[in-house]
Amino acid sequence: MSIKKLLFIIIALFITSNCTLNKVIKHHGVHFLEVKQEKLALNESNKNDIIKLLGPPSTISLFNEDLWIYIERNTSSSKISKLGKRKLLTNNVLVLELNNKGLLEEKTFLNKEDMKNLKFSKSFTEMSISKKSFVYDFLRTLRQKANDPLGKKK
């Protein structure tokens, strides 16, 4: 066998062994969220129906325990020319609000296109504590502990 044929076989094996014909899709969250959310009826579906259909929520609001959030996200590897960057295929969010009886009161479904239209505030919250005051407070507590280790002096 000539060196050219051997080299050609090695290159062909290298190329075909590193390529896959099927796209690799990474899925996060609830599968087919858009289809499943249509089965939920306002003022008819309760917590048990929701959990049976969608499973436990991805997130429960910190401020309102009756606000459940479900997420679906699909990504796929892009072309070789993009050096393996992930491409976002679907990005769905379902926000469910339950009333005090556990019935579904309101549902909001957002897909990838809806999220492009969301407006975010451009204002920033200023911190009222500076690093200097933190360091000063820390050293002050150390000084107090050094002067009164048992904490009996007032």
pLDDT value for 121: 73
Q: Are 43 and 103 in contact, with CB atoms under 8 Å apart?
A: yes
pLDDT value for 52: 92
Whether residue 21 is predicted with pLDDT greater than 60 in this model: the reply is no
Q: Locate the domains of the chain by residue range.
A: 28-118
Q: Are 54 and 38 in contact, with CB atoms under 8 Å apart?
A: no
pLDDT value for 153: 63
Q: For residue range 121-137, what is the model confidence (pLDDT) as tens digits? A: 777 776 665 555 666 67
Q: For residue range 46-96, what is the model confidence (pLDDT) as tens digits? A: 999 999 999 999 888 888 888 999 999 888 876 655 666 778 888 889 999
Pairwise CA distance, residues 49 & 59, whole Å: 17
Q: Which helix (H) or strand (E) holds 142?
A: helix 131-147
For the entire predicted model, the pTM comes to 0.61
Q: Are 65 and 55 in contact, with CB atoms under 8 Å apart?
A: no
Contacts of 132 (CB under 8 A, 6+ apart): none
